[in-house]
Amino acid sequence: MYDMTIVRRLALILILLLFISALCSAQEGNDVFWDGIGGVASFGKPFWADMHSTIIRTEVAYATNSPDYDWGEFNTSYRFFIFTNLGVDITIWSGEFADGRYGFSFTLPFMIDTWYDLFERETSPIINISYRFGFLDTNFIYRLSSPLQILPLSEESSLPGFLHFNIYNWSLKLSLLKHESTHLGDELTIHRKNLELPITRIDVLTNYAELIFTLNDPDNQLRRNHGFKFGVLFNYNFIRGWYWVLETEADPDFVEPSSFPFEFHIQYQYQSSPFWRGFQIITSAEYRLRERHKYPFSYSGGNFDDYSNRHLVNNFNLFAGIRYDNGKPNYFSKIGIGARFYSGLNPYGQFRSMPHFRQLGLAILFE
């Protein structure tokens, strides 16, 4: 049953590609479809505040410590860690129609998210590593023929300049099949087995779909922009949920199945007008509603947390910094540096049952 569902989705995507090919041939000539293969689209890019995205990022952060991953036994409430994200949106095809009024693109997203304990001097262990990839994200953008002025900039206005904004476009991103797999670091897994803890590891593995609506996609334009995203994520593994356990790795009596197959998020990102050779100020924020994993997050420190009344948790991710944009649509055309603050569930792998996680860091980003 599940395999046939996958086949149907792939067939739908193939039909959509053939439709785009026919549309290109009918409107622009036979070469447009082939010219669009491998072209980099100017739209559909993630915002800085997207917690797990295809933006390449390295961050030094002061974050909540826990006995569950305190390999060096520092026994402090907060510690410094290294967080890295290696991601790419491989463009399969992109094209513009009606003199750039609207566009399509198909991409293959892939990202590796790693949490290092490099400040532990003995082995500098990896705490958690996550893999995420998708099959043919479909992106569509519609550009207004002229900007819709919401708060127009004029001499009579008393509002600060950065509050004035126009609506330039709206876009949709549909991801029919994405896969997430997270893994605990080897040192921690061995340590927890040696201690014979009730939960050695949790297998966080799922397939999901995602739909995102964007108002004012930056569209690779060097202009002041207020962008908004509204997204919903649906977990296909409705019965098994976001995770499962093997009896050789966890006592099933301590693990309840997840029951809420959705995630919702709202994002906002502001980019200023370039103020010096392509430099821009960036502020970005995300609110995300996520289900907390239903098992106690810490045994090694004797902390059995009560999670029974807090299944859905509010999560906030805030980013602010400066970005250099060379104005080209190529990969690595933008480089930024910024400060980030996160508060909510621990967003990394099997630690998502850990509440009240906070992270304050300094990051460098490549887009």
Question: 186: helix, coil or strand?
Answer: helix
Asked if residue 49 lies in contact with residue 267, where contact means CB atoms within 8 angstroms, the answer is yes
Task: Identify the CA nearest to 326 among candidates 336, 311, 338, 337.
Answer: 336
Instruction: Report domain extents, the chain.
Output: 1-35, 39-147+165-366
Question: Tens digits of per-residue pLDDT, 69-80?
Answer: 988 889 999 999
DSSP structural state of residue 250: B
Neighbours of 72 (CB within 10 A): 14
| 109 confidence band (pLDDT: 50, 70, 90) | very high
CATH superfamily of 39-147+165-366: monomeric porin ompg (2.40.160.40)
CA distance 45 to 48: 10
CA distance 242 to 235: 7
CA distance 82 to 292: 24
Question: Tens digits of per-residue pLDDT, 220-263?
Answer: 999 999 999 999 999 998 888 999 999 889 889 888 888 899 99
Question: Tens digits of per-residue pLDDT, 269-300?
Answer: 999 999 888 899 999 999 999 999 988 877 66
CA distance 18 to 33: 10
This prediction's pTM: 0.87
Helical (H) or strand (E) element with 17: helix 2-27
